Amino acid sequence: MSRPPPSHWVLGSRPLPALNLPLAQASALLSHLGQGARDAVAEDLLRLVGAHAPLAQCTVFAFEPGRKPVVVAVGDRSRTQELPHIAESYVSRFYRLDGLAEVMQAEWAAAQRAGSDAPRILLHRQTGADIAHAEYRRTCYELPQVADRLAVLALYEGRRWMSVHLYRGTEHGPFDDAAVAVVEAFAPLIVQAVRLHHTGLAVHQDLRGLLLARAVRRWPALTQRDSDVVMALMDGLDTAALAARLGLTASSAQTYCQRVYRKLGVAGQRELVAALLESAG
């Protein structure tokens, strides 16, 4: 009979199992850290940890005191296309109702003393039955058919909690002792990976925003839609991915790209990036 762990605990308070780390999957995770593909890290964590314990979804959040949480990445194993919307509902409407908020408050002082070099890694478990708020329970657990959630979190820079939420589907059932032990074994890798990914994305976003601002000053004829296209092209998206991001048909996306190329006087995506870097000089 599986005995449920306490609602939250500190990593290291229970013995960890020995696991064989799949080198190819670990390499894929490392290659995506900090890159423009925001959600790749969540998808990679699903594959990496899910190879040892069944998982349905993964969401990564950044929490800072006094601010609304930020969705860092989402990953879904073909359950629903609604996970990005569910994650946004969580950070907009429900995060204050989450038991995780109490954990972060209670552990704040101890996490600050631990520092970032050897962070105090916490785990928090929550099922839908633990949530009294009916709409929160329905939106984040019942509609996506989630049975259980295990969050792995740590404090960085003395101010930002990074939290990785791993979900079991109703078809998997709640986390048993073996599955909890798997997540604990991966927890140090998980928290370091998401920290590096979040930092890399922040640098990427800052640089991208700076280049776009300078491009708008240099080419004032760029419209807001043109700017959206430029941002997508800077992220390395092809026409199909650009169309999906901006809600366009493939032919419309191609038309918008060609219009941007004409306005900037470039022949394609590589020349566009070169022109933007030149404009920053």
- Predicted pLDDT of residue 24: 62
Taking Cα atoms as reference points, which of 179, 160, 205, 176 lies closest to residue 60? 160
Query: What stretch of H or E contains 166?
Result: strand 160-169
Segments in the chain forming alpha helices (H): 23-32, 40-50, 83-89, 99-114, 134-137, 177-218, 224-234, 239-246, 250-264, 269-279
Q: What is the mean pLDDT of residues 36-54?
A: 84
pLDDT tens across 224-242, in order?
888 888 888 877 788 888 8
- Predicted pLDDT of residue 1: 36
The DSSP secondary structure of 11-78, one letter per residue, reads TTSSPPPP----HHHHHHHHHHTTSS-TTHHHHHHHHHHHTTS---EEEEEEE-TTS--EEEEEEESS
- The pTM score is 0.69
In the beta sheet, which residues pair with residue 152? Answer: 123, 164
**Most confident option among 17-26, 98-107, 220-229:** 98-107
- Predicted pLDDT of residue 117: 78
pLDDT at 148 over 70: yes
Burial 56-83 (b: 16+ CB within 10 A, else e): bbbbbbbbeeeeebebbbbbbeeeeeeb
The DSSP secondary structure of 63-83, one letter per residue, reads E-TTS--EEEEEEESSS-TTH
CA 79/CA 161 separation, integer angstroms: 27
Query: What stretch of H or E contains 161?
Result: strand 160-169
- Predicted pLDDT of residue 257: 92
Query: Between vectors from CA 162 to CA 178 and to CA 127, what angle results, nearest 5°?
Result: 45
